[in-house]
Structure 1
Amino acid sequence: MKRTATAAGRLCLPARSSVRSRARQCLLAVLLLGAASGAAPAFAKDPCKMVICMYGKYSKLMGKGDDGGEKCREAEAEYFDIIVYGKKGRINWNNTAKERLKRQNSCPSADRGKTKQINDKFGKSSG
């Protein structure tokens, strides 16, 4: 690496290298700040509420019940916000359905048969 002399006779690295160094320091500071803040996972909400609300939506479509109305909008939005993209930037519907099912099954008391029914109906849809 080429070094240059300053007017005071001290050696220093070229400006281009110091910009990279400052960028690394800034990136490190941002990462440490994020880790220190205890950032929550992307889906920190209740998966059981999601299952209940999505089953209500499923039941209403099947003519057997009623959805949760305004109380379930957030849980339904959380379900439909789970989207997996492929390498070319397109939505991968198979992996999206798998991730949605995995999220529903993270509720310990959820009936796996019901979560599969919900996922079969809504897993590959955009909402």
Structure 2
Amino acid sequence: MNQTNLQFKTLLLLLGLVTVAFIWILLPFYGAVFWAVILGIIFAPMQRRLQQRFGWNRNLTSLATLSACLIIAILPVIITSALLVQEGATLYKNIESGKLDVAGYIEQFKNVLPPYFQHLLDRFGMGNLEG
């Protein structure tokens, strides 16, 4: 085996090891990296158009694009998530305090079903809610 072939194979081995190590390090952050790439792909044309249209430097167009990304994409997700958590906590409190009777609602729903579906639920062992 000549020297050049050995160096090439060693380079490929080291490149593979470094790639595996890099993926192992970034694995806990894959969600954040994924969404950063998605937002970068979506908002890159906007940054190019801002730079061409107004002739601003790259820092200013990046700031404008980041602000638009924050207002359009990130803040609505944060607000929606916070409201969803708040509603979940309220629902849990209502169920725990007895204000919301889930079993009663399911029983009413079962009684409204046509007899065929009620018989089908009984056949699968789902007709008796207390059991």
TM-score, with structure 1 as normaliser: 0.33
Higher-RCO chain (CA-CA 8 Å, sequence separation at least 6): 1
Q: Answer with 1 or 2: which has the greater Rg.
A: 2
Q: Which has the higher helix share?
A: 2
